Amino acid sequence: MNLKMSTLWRRLEDIPREVLYALFLIAFIIPMLNPFGLPIPISADVRKWFQTIDALPPGSAIMIDMGYSAGGEPELGPYAAAVGHHIFKKGKLKSIYMATSIDGVQLFDLLMGEVKPEQYGAKYGVDYVHIGYIAGTETAMAAVGKDIRATTSTDYKRNPLDQMSVMEGIKDATSFKLLICYTTGGDQSEGWVRQWVTPYKTPYLSSVLALMIPTMLPYYKAGQIVSLVSGATAGQYELLNKLPARGIKSADVVSVTHLLIFAFVVLGNIAYYARKASEGAKKGG
């Protein structure tokens, strides 16, 4: 009996990864196809991000860095889209997009395809523009902060910036009321602090991969970042926006998969101690 129990516990202690992968796949697919509508609490940081944009006076310019790669799009894309909806819905704000990631231009086209700024009456060149991928990461941030037109005189489609009304009055970092960065890279998220926040005191909102949050916390706690969130909080922003989209759907997936992992962690520990106990009883008996 003890031998049977010991074997059972050993199996539960070392479930084959194929079985785990299959169960996680099911846990991904079911809420994705049929969202449960599990509760989503809105964190203080997401609320602060939302309020910061809401409080911008009409005519304010926002620098937005599309600093994420294609691999990070499933996490950061929904958040960037939710913020895009908010900015264009609010209206009378100038969005100047740039890319410090080489994928930033293509991801901008995807983002605009999802947000559809024209549904809010926003026009390219009038309310928003993308000045393209600018190589050099921190050097690019510093150069754009000093003088945008000296760094690039055209947008990503090679249209002259001087012919776009959205660029009127925009010269350097001091022309911006807000800086937003979505990124999968530490160079970008930290670089903006060094190149814009410290010298120009530009308020900074940063959305990074969840695993990057700990590395950004010292900047946040020092007050150099107004709001620091992971892309996985897109569902919360969508709730504030009252525009449910990809984020809310993925929040259910995050809840279910995290709880499944936790259940397996508990099961693994119970099996570990039960196996030790049954082996101890066997030796003792």
Partner 1 sequence: MSLFVRRQIPIAIVAITSIVVMADYFLKIPQTGPVVKDLQNWGVILSAYALGFGAVNLFIVHTRHISKRASGQWPFSIWLLFILAVFAVVGVFIGPSSAQYMWIYNASYFALSATIYSSTGFYIASGCYRALRARNAQAVILLIVGSLALIRNAPAMAAGFPIFVDIDAWLNSVPTTSAQRGIMIGAALGAIALGVRTMIGRETAFLGRRTEAER
Residues forming contacts to partner 1 in the complex (CB under 8 A) are 14-15, 17, 20-21, 24-25, 38-41, 43, 69-74, 102, 105-106, 109-110, 134-137, 139-140, 142-143, 146-147, 150-151, 156-157, 199, 210, 213-215, 217-218, 221, 232, 235-236, 251-252, 254-255, 257-262, 264-265, 268-269, 272-273
Please identify, using beta-carbon distances, which residue of 93 and 148 lies nearer to partner 1: 148
Please identify, using beta-carbon distances, which residue of 55 and 210 lies nearer to partner 1: 210
Please identify, using beta-carbon distances, which residue of 24 and 120 lies nearer to partner 1: 24
Q: How far is the CB of 57 from partner 1 (least distance, A)?
A: 27
Please identify, using beta-carbon distances, which residue of 9 and 93 lies nearer to partner 1: 9
Q: How far is the CB of 231 from partner 1 (least distance, A)?
A: 12
Please identify, using beta-carbon distances, which residue of 107 and 166 lies nearer to partner 1: 107
Q: How far is the CB of 91 from partner 1 (least distance, A)?
A: 25
Residues 6+ apart with CB under 8 A from 15: 264, 268
Please identify, using beta-carbon distances, which residue of 120 and 220 lies nearer to partner 1: 220
Contact (CB, 8 A) for 193 and 226: no
Task: Residue 83: name the closest of 107, 111, 104 by CA.
Answer: 111
Q: Six-digit token pair at 245?
A: 């989209």
Q: How far is the CB of 116 from partner 1 (least distance, A)?
A: 16
Q: How far is the CB of 70 from partner 1 (least distance, A)?
A: 4
How many Å apart are CA 134 and CA 146, to the nearest integer?
14
Q: How far is the CB of 255 from partner 1 (least distance, A)?
A: 4
